[in-house]
Structure 1
C-alpha cells in the first residue's frame, strides 16, 4: 500500500502526534501539513494525496476561507475523489449529525485512540465511511441525554454583533473599540451568547456559527 496523507489542524502538537502515529504504519506517507483553511486549500492545489485528515474548526483570522462544514463541502466539490476524515473535539450533536449525514466523510472524536484513527483512514482509503464510537454513542442518545449543551436560543442584537466580529477574527479589545464600550461588556455579551448557542469554547463557537449562522431575536435588548 502506498497511501498519501495530508494532515490539517491548527494545533501543532496535534499534528505532531498524528504524524508520529501514522508514520508507524508501512506504506503511509505524510505529504503535507496545514494549520489554516487557506493553507490547506493551497496545499491541496499543489499536492496530490489520497486521504485528508482534518480538524473541523481551524478559524482563519483573515476570514478569506471558511472553516467547518463549509470548508469540508468546498474541498469535496473541488476534489471529489479525495477521501476525508474529520477529527473534532466538538460534542454538539447538531454539528456531528450534519457531518455524518453527509454520507461520504468519515468522522471521529479527537478523544478516540490512534488505532481508531487508523481504522478510519484505512476505511476511507477503500471508499468506505467510518464513524467513530464516541460519535455514534453521542448521536444514539435521547435528546436530553445527548452531548448537546443547553437548547439554542436566539441572540440579542448586541450579542450577535459581538459574535459576528469575533468569528471574523477581532479580539475582545478590538470589538470593544468598534462598539464603543468596555472590554468587560464585550466579554459578558460573548459569554451570554455562547450559553444561548450551547457551546462551551471558542472552537465550538466557530463551528456552530459556520454551520448555522446567527439567529437574532426581534427585540433590540
Structure 2
C-alpha cells in the first residue's frame, strides 16, 4: 500500500530489534513504521519501550509510527507520553496508516481511534494487569527507596543521578503499574507486585 503512494520508497525491512538497529545504521530513512513487539531472544534491548527510546536517541529526526495489537493502557500511556511516536492499532485500516505517516511528517504525532479510546479509559484502582512491560532495575530501585521513606533528592544523591531522572523513573514505574498516585504505589508494593518482576529483569 505504501509503495503505491507517490514519492514513497521502501528502503528496508527488519524482523527483530537487533536487525532493525543494524539496518537503521546503514540505511538512511525518513519514517520508520514498526511493530511494537518483535521477539529477539538474548538482545541487549531491555524492552519495547527502551527500543523506541534508543532509536529516538540515536536518530532524533526519524519519525516513528508504532503499530500494535496491545490493549494494555499502561504501556500505551508510557508510549504516548514520549511524544516522539505516532500510535496506531493494527485493527485500523491501511488508510489510517497513511494518515499517521502524513501527520507525523508535520511533527504532529498521530494517535489512532482505537488507541485513543484505550487511553481515555481511566485505570482501575490498584495495580493494572496484565503488565506488558516489567519494571527496569533502575525503576525498581527508585520505587523501593521511595517506599522506604527516602525523598527524591536523597535517592538521586544515593544513585548519583539528577533528581529529574529519579522523578521520571518513578513516574514511568507508576504508569507501568497502572497507579496514578503515591498511595496506589504503596499499595502495589505492599501487595508484592514489584517482587513478581524479578525473573524478568
Range of TM-score over shorter length: 0.5 to 0.7
1:216 pairs with one of 185, 195, 200: 195
Which whole-Å CA distance do the structure 1 matches of 2:194 and 2:123 have between them?
21
Partner SS, residue 4 of structure 2: coil
1:122 deviation in Å? 1.0
The alpha-carbon distance between structure 1 residues 44 and 140, as it changes in their structure 2 partners (threshold 3 A), is: same
Task: Using structure 2 for the length normalisation, give the TM-score.
Answer: 0.64
Unpaired stretches in structure 1, ≥5 consecutive residues:
1-20, 145-149, 154-196, 200-206
Q: Report how far residue 143 of structure 1 moved.
A: 3.2
Q: Give 1:49-128 correspondences, 5 Å limit.
A: 49-128=29-108
* 4+ aligned runs moved over 3 Å, structure 1: 150-153, 210-214
The verdict on how the C-alpha distance between 1:210 and 1:46 changes in structure 2, with shifts beyond 3 A counting, is farther
Q: TM-score, normalized by length of structure 1? A: 0.59
The alpha carbon displacement at 1:58 in A equals 0.9
Alpha-carbon shift at residue 75 of structure 1 (Å):
0.4
**Map of 1:198 onto structure 2:** 130
**Runs of 5+ consecutive residues of structure 2 not aligned to the other structure:** 137-175, 178-192, 197-201
Specify the alignment match of 2:123 in structure 1: 143
1:131 counterpart (96, 111, 114): 111
- Could you say what the CA RMSD is over the residues aligned between the two structures, in angstroms? 2.3
SS at match of 2:88: strand
